[in-house]
Amino acid sequence: MGETEPVSGFRKQNIAAVDVERLVAALDQQDAAAGVRRLRAWAYEALAVRAGERALDVGSGTGCQTGRLADAVGPDGDALGIEPNPGLRAVAEERAAAAGSRARFTDSDALALPLPDASVNVLWCERVLQHLTEADRAVAEKQAG
Ligand SMILES: C[S@@+](CC[C@H](N)C(=O)[O-])C[C@H]1O[C@@H](n2cnc3c(N)ncnc32)[C@H](O)[C@@H]1O
């Protein structure tokens, strides 16, 4: 008690207070973790993404999974990353460009997805809900998407 709460850098309301490089380093470390890789392999198998599908990555961070989704849907599909943190979005855009990926990124919010209802085939949202103030509302928004 009496201790200062650590600032969660991934919360939208804390974006201005946290160094983006630290967030990128944390995400890169998590990307390399065996447990995260196993979880993703399991999820991709269950999703069975097909060529030509429209994929949405909500809270896309550095964009590594948006890029993977873009590869899976191919040139006839679309993969869009939703990311409210401009620093993380810039890293995602740079990395996608360097990799020649078709992944796209936009500034938006899990609570107000910028797409018509029922307009995506695949929805990825990894380790985001715990950073939202209204996770239930975000889940309802995703169910509509
Ligand atoms: C722990 S990171 C996970 C990033 C990515 N999904 C991954 O697995 O590498 C949480 C992400 O959620 C984003 N985020 C936070 N609040 C959000 C909101 N209201 N809507 C969408 N994304 C949000 C953060 O900016 C951050 O990129």
127 lines ligand 1 (CB under 6 A): yes
Question: What does the pLDDT look like over 2-38, one tens digit per residue?
Answer: 445 455 789 988 888 889 999 999 999 999 999 999 9
What total number of domains does the chain contain? 1
CA distance 59 to 8: 15
Q: What pLDDT is attached to residue 7?
A: 57
Question: What does the pLDDT look like over 46-89, one tens digit per residue?
Answer: 999 999 999 999 999 999 999 999 999 999 999 999 999 999 99
Confirm whether pTM is higher than 0.85: yes
Task: Tell me which residue range forms the domain holding 28.
Answer: 12-144
Q: Confirm whether 47 is domain-assigned.
A: yes
Top mutation candidate among 8, 10, 80 for ligand 1, by most atoms within 8 Å of CB: 10
Q: What pLDDT is attached to residue 127?
A: 92
> Domain with 32 in it: what CATH number?
3.40.50.150
Q: What pLDDT is attached to residue 1?
A: 40
